[in-house]
A and B are shown apart, each in its own frame.
Chain A
């Protein structure tokens, strides 16, 4: 990190190759010592060139230097010569003033062009070695973007020297990629026209930036209608809603595609969203078991038998979804434990409290049990509940993991020395850095059979989770046995802190996300990763599994802000979702397998439709600071979120009318977003104009906790919400 001395000559620092193409106005020979010495230098260079026979270069240099010295016809160089450092600043101001005063129909879309222009003007100024002017420009113009781009602004504000431009991740991201933006044909035409008339006042610099660094996609709004329609655009922008469009940004993509190429419209990767089929042997066993269960405990009147339930469950969905095959994603043969778990799942499916969708504006009543951890001194990094609701685990900044039994049972181990008094909590020590995520292996809660009011406690040991994964800043992932409470395996492959780890819904596999910008797929018996998912432009901060185990979703932080969907079998990116303005902090895929929800640290939750790859809706209400956890009800009708603003919130996930229309219009076919879309017409939009802090009308309830940020929310199989948080007085 040794600082380099400043480059001796200004010519060398104009920028990297990507910035200054041949024949562009910036690639001149600006001089700081005055034009006199510059002339001499030019003379020397010209002589050298002619001696070597570089005739075309010579001609070019002659032409350009000529325009500097003698030609005053308003070329950028003459303009730049007067006050070089302020050149970009002035050019930017010209465009900004024009955008501010333009017709209202173009304003919303042209507003969006200011941010990339601002970034590039700033970077160019710095790269031209004008730190003071760059700073002045930055301070003067950053206000407009404080809300939406606070993270990028923070990263950029540090840049002061040309070599910082080379080293800064964000600056490089903007320089080496094209910022994608969609404008209407008319909007773009007026912009170009304006830039041409203002050519001498910076218009040329701006059109240069637009050519080099922006990828402007023009559409005919009148023709296309739907989401890009003029009316919709105006509606959206009226409520001072400043959010990037789906296809805007550095990794801007064509919506509904994993492909960043504009031309690749129709190339939509087919997804296999149906549940993973059951192994035939397992299915037979489960059926036998259920029949046995039905005969011993005949169902109460009005209730279907378990076997019927099971038939229903596997028969449904003759939809056009294809299921991933067991050949492509192999699993170890099923065991008695799997049979027991499946049986329990069927039982729960029959017995649970159903949460139907919000109909007629009345939200379903959701019950939340809050587990508050005391005396944590803010050292808890994550909280996790096991699927069978018997265990809670926390990962701490002090590198250890602590597991509690929620029902105050002693946590025993076969390895306990005789005379050892097991308590209801255990400490797992092994990591050498803060533990950032935990994941229990799949398990199923035993519904306590209630016979005549009394509950008999027969928690069969079969259903309990047997393993737990943890990941830490020490770059390792560890597998812990919950039978012996010891560390079984250390998985090393990431070379940066591992931010998140998740078990596959069916066990055996797991995925991890790391600061090394990759997500990796592992299987528990192997210590090397099976797949490496690379593509994010910054840390992969969070991940989630698709319920059928065939896909994972990853979300990234500053500079990328995308959610990407990866296919496990192919190891390729299946979808990309852009539109978040903050770091992605949580992702959850609906159990129905058709919708994924992602949340960012600005408090916005976005729902995405997987099949079409489109944004369904944005939901606002959480305060800034991060939505740490999301989860769906079993019926995929309700989303619950918990965050740093000390609240647990419940959301209606039915798409609002317009967005549904949009999705239909865009795809030109009857798209069934998911089961809930069919009856989604009753949702009424209450408020059109909504401030940034106001909650969108689809928030059903907001439960505040007492000074306890909520780290984890989870719907149990019975549709009760468990929330975990630490009390921070």
Chain B
């Protein structure tokens, strides 16, 4: 009749050498044990309450035992919930015990130190201003019927929380909650940009771009747009239309004067670079169409760097490095090379062309010749050549080339000099275009070397 199993009393009695305990006594003792447990719990609850907690912990029990002048139970103090194991003793009887993990000493000593819990800190915010609760992320969002909106925006919460292997989970301090209107707006914009099924979708899309370009209150959505952009670009490499539309969204975001995109530039650069120097953009059936995409990407990259280049110092070198790497990799298709040359031109300007493209031209010459010889790839190689020529022309426009300072050799001698300097293909092209300024610019390296 008592919750406490009287058999336990018998067991304990036997363990201290009393074998024949009358039933009455056992029942009585069982009830008494139950009363004592309740008494301890009663005191423990007091400690829980004073600790302003809603869960009773092992610490509370220890404190209660101490208060009742009983020796506390050692070895159970834990801030983690204890794991209870269950064993069946045959029949209906079950035994519960605290699972004690066995830890190998060697392993414990050699394993990495557990992660330090985060430092306790505080933040301040306005809970109410003159009797009105401002709707800021730190305050719970309530709609008309006063219910919290937390659940509804669950699907828009970025996956920032990660639980590490040693069970210490680090959660974002404040959940980012969007108002319903913004969520709806975001969904509509995304749909308008990607949806090609609707007739005259281009109108819709243009309207969406125009809205993103000029709306003032989008700053809360920026992380979601970033996520959307990188997500679409990584998953839709085969579809040039999607890539183009997404890049146009980036452009629209860059156009918006009310957004501060600086914190998001590091996440935008990879996306744009992917569209620029990606190995396989679109399907083979698209033919030369991906060059247009690369052009678009390069123009966006240029704008990005113009806008944020001086704020993030390491941006240019890092982008340039990956572009050079892509360019000089013979295993990559000419599409990537084309993008890389465009990237280098836009990233580093004339200085970049001078110091990064020109010196590497004779190395690249081999790849180019091979490409031009191959019929299937000639078209692509030509595009690269055009890009390189365009890059070289920036040098001419720059005009810093010492204009005919040292009279240049004529005719074949000049051609030979050019070929020596920048390789056969480009050398000949440069010679053929014939601009003396261009030639001077290309040969500048030699002259000053």
Contact = CB atoms under 8 A, between A and B. Distances in A.
Contact of A397 (B46, B51, B118, B133): B51
A703 B50 contact: no
A637 to B, nearest CB: 14
A590 interface: no
A246 B117 CA distance: 49
Interface string A399-431: 000101010000000000000000000000000
A1 interface: yes
A185 interface: no
A196 interface: no
A676 interface: no
Contacts of A515: 46, 67
B127 A377 contact: no
Given A3-B33, A705-B140, A160 B127 contact: no
Main secondary structure of the interface of B (DSSP, over half): mixed
A382 B67 contact: no
Contact of B47 (A1, A370, A473, A558): A473
B139 interface: yes
B173 interface: yes
B288 interface: no
Interface in B113-147: 117-133, 138-140, 142
A719 to B, nearest CB: 11
Interface string A549-567: 0000000011000000000
- Most A-side CB within 10 Å, residue of B34, B49, B130, B138: B49
Contacts of B53: 378
Given A374-B120, A374-B123, A628-B52, A496 B67 contact: yes
A365 interface: yes
Contact of B121 (A132, A374, A711): A374
B7 interface: no
A6 B67 contact: no
B289 interface: no
Interface stretch (A20-28, A48-56, A151-159, A198-206): A151-159
A154 B122 contact: no
A202 B126 CA distance: 63
Contacts of A377: 79, 117
A131 interface: yes
A417 B410 CA distance: 79
Contacts of B121: 373-375
Given A373-B121, A382-B52, A158 B34 contact: yes
A367 B129 contact: yes
B200 to A, nearest CB: 44
A367 B63 contact: no
Interface stretch (B22-30, B268-276, B357-365): B22-30
Interface in A709-723: 709, 711, 721, 723
Interface string A498-514: 01000000000000000
Interface stretch (B36-44, B248-256, B301-309, B425-433): B36-44
A384 interface: no
B128 A648 contact: yes
Interface in A634-671: 644, 648, 650
A403 to B, nearest CB: 12
Interface in A512-552: 515, 539, 541
Interface residues of A, number: 76
A143 to B, nearest CB: 20
A571 interface: no
A680 interface: no
A727 B173 contact: yes
Contacts of A368: 126-128
Nearest to B50: A436
Contacts of B122: 371-374, 392, 404
B131 A711 contact: no
Given A155-B42, A557-B46, A723-B127, A132 B70 contact: no
A318 interface: no
A700 B31 CA distance: 50
Interface string B64-108: 000110100000000100000000000000000000000000000
A535 to B, nearest CB: 19
B2 interface: yes
Contact of B125 (A164, A366, A370, A397): A370
B49 A6 contact: no
Contact of B63 (A365, A392, A394, A473): A473
A601 interface: yes
B130 A365 contact: yes
A375 B67 contact: no
B138 A402 contact: no
A364 interface: yes
- Most B-side CB within 10 Å, residue of A368, A433, A539, A700: A368
Contact of B38 (A6, A158, A628, A704): A158
A706 B139 contact: yes
B16 interface: no
Given A363-B131, A374-B121, A157 B173 contact: no
A279 to B, nearest CB: 37
Contact of B49 (A369, A392, A626): A626
Contacts of B318: none
B32 interface: yes
B54 interface: yes
Interface in B163-189: 171, 173-174
Given A3-B28, A402-B120, A727-B173, A365 B131 contact: yes
A372 B138 contact: yes
A628 B130 CA distance: 23
A376 interface: yes
B140 A706 contact: yes
A160 B123 contact: no
A381 interface: yes
A470 interface: no
B35 interface: yes
A135 interface: yes
B1 to A, nearest CB: 6
Interface in A1-46: 1, 3, 5-6
B59 interface: yes
Interface string A310-324: 000000000000000
A158 B35 contact: yes
B128 A160 contact: no
A533 B121 CA distance: 38
B24 A373 contact: no
B50 A541 contact: yes
A161 B127 contact: no
B132 A365 contact: yes
A367 B126 CA distance: 8
Contact of A644 (B54, B63, B132, B138): B54
B38 A157 contact: yes
A381 B50 contact: yes
Contacts of B46: 515, 539, 557
A3 B32 contact: yes
Contact of B124 (A369, A434, A626, A727): A369
Contacts of B67: 496-497, 515
Contact of A160 (B24, B32, B125, B130): B32
A701 interface: yes
A601 B54 CA distance: 12
B31 A497 contact: no
- Most A-side CB within 10 Å, residue of B32, B34, B174: B32
A583 interface: yes
A499 B48 CA distance: 12
Nearest to B55: A378
Contacts of B47: 434, 473, 497
14 contacts: A3-B29, A3-B32, A158-B34, A160-B32, A369-B127, A372-B124, A375-B120, A375-B121, A378-B55, A381-B52, A557-B46, A648-B128, A706-B139, A727-B173
Which 5 A-B pairs have CB atoms at the shortest separation, nearest pair first? A158-B38, A365-B130, A365-B131, A3-B32, A370-B127
Given A375-B120, A626-B52, 5 more contacts: A367-B131, A372-B124, A406-B124, A497-B47, A704-B139
